């Protein structure tokens, strides 16, 4: 039984090294890198990137877990917009599953576990390794959404300045993408995508709806609705954006006040469970010791 386990560990290690080397070799292809640079965030030649073997494995894995289009949308909302993002994701999942399973198998052999326990430990470690990338993507998506939400009012103020200075909507968005690169790179990336889509001829309404759906930020959805209505009704863009910016700033202040009001309630549990017992011991402890000593003297 032990030679079979050693052979399984060796085969797993070999497959892990093969997948890593194959991925690194495919990434260093200069022709593919140049095509991806020329094609931007979209795919260079209209086909899915990656080696055929990796594509088949990813398609088989995605058919049981989630569709490729859904995972691609989720990765794009998390900020991974390059063409091979979905294949890189499943490649990382595969590597982590193999690595965690291999580490668990080696640890089980070192601890002299039985075969059933060793198999269960290896499968559990592989499942944890496959779950880690999903948790990371969820955390990054929430963090990116919050960063965009916090930076949207400032972006609207700058957009009002650009529009009132005589710039068009496309030129203003392009200028904002350059100016907000340091302050909020997440929002700057989304604005850059909007600029590219408008320049290639997509309707402004469709581009704004795609921006709202891609970011899942309610403030940007309100911005899209406002700009679409302004374009249809022919009203002033600067006035509409200024009113919307004031409304978003007021909502942000309300959220800050709400979070500040929740702090007192959240501090109750640490105070009662962690701080108050120590204070009680420090304050009442000496008095209790004196009472015990007095009672002992009285008893004697």
- Count of other CB atoms within 10 angstroms of residue 41: 15
Tally helices (H) and strands (E) across the chain.
13, 0
273: which DSSP letter? I
Instruction: Work out the end-to-end distance of the chain between its first and last CA atoms, rounded to an integer number of angstroms.
Output: 72
Residue 21, pLDDT score: 54
| Ranges of each domain in the chain | 2-112, 145-262
Where are the strands (E) in 165-207, listed by range? Answer: none
- Helices marked H in 49-114 — which ranges? 52-65, 68-77, 85-110
Q: Taking the model in full, what pTM does it have?
A: 0.66
Q: How many CB atoms lie within 10 A of CB 119?
A: 15
Contacts with 234 (C-beta within 8 Å, 6 or more apart), sequence order: none
pLDDT 10s per residue in the chain (300 long)? 555 555 555 566 656 665 565 555 555 555 555 545 544 444 434 444 445 555 555 555 555 444 677 788 888 888 887 777 888 888 888 888 888 988 888 888 888 888 888 889 889 998 998 899 999 999 999 899 888 888 888 888 888 888 888 888 788 888 888 888 888 888 888 888 888 888 888 888 888 888 888 888 888 888 888 888 887 887 777 788 888 888 888 888 888 888 888 888 888 888 888 888 888 888 888 888 888 888 888 876
DSSP-assigned letter for residue 79: T
Residues making up the chain, counted from first to last:
300
DSSP of 111-160? TT--HHHHHHHHHHHHHHHHHHHHHHHHHHHHHHHHHHHHHHHHHHHHHH
């Amino acid at each position: 039984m032990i030679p079979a386990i050693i052979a399984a560990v060796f085969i797993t290690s070999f497959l892990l090294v093969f997948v890593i080397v194959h991925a690194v070799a495919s990434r260093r292809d200069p022709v593919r890198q140049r095509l991806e640079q020329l094609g931007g965030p979209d795919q260079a030649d209209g086909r899915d990137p990656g080696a055929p073997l990796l594509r088949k494995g990813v398609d088989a894995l995605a058919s049981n877990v989630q569709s490729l289009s859904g995972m691609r949308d989720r990765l794009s909302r998390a900020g991974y917009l390059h063409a091979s993002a979905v294949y890189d994701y499943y490649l990382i999942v595969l590597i982590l599953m193999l690595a965690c399973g291999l580490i668990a198998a080696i640890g089980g052999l070192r601890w002299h576990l039985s075969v059933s326990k060793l198999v269960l430990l290896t499968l559990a470690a592989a499942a944890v390794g496959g779950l880690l990338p999903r948790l990371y993507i969820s955390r990054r998506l929430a963090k990116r959404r919050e960063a965009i939400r916090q930076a949207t009012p400032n972006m609207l103020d700058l957009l009002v300045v650009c529009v009132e200075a005589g710039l068009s909507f496309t030129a203003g968005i392009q200028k904002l993408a350059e100016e907000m690169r340091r302050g909020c790179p997440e929002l700057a990336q989304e604005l850059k995508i909007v600029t590219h889509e408008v320049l290639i001829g997509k309707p402004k309404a469709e581009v704004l709806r795609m921006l709202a759906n891609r970011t899942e930020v309610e403030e940007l959805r309100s911005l899209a609705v406002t700009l679409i209505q302004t374009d249809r009704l022919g009203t002033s863009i600067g006035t509409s954006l200024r009113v919307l910016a004031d409304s978003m700033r007021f909502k942000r202040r309300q959220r800050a006040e709400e979070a500040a009001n929740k702090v007192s309630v959240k501090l109750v549990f640490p105070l009662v469970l962690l701080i108050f017992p120590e204070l009680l011991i420090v304050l009442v402890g000496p008095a209790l010791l004196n009472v015990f000593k007095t009672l002992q003297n009285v008893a004697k």
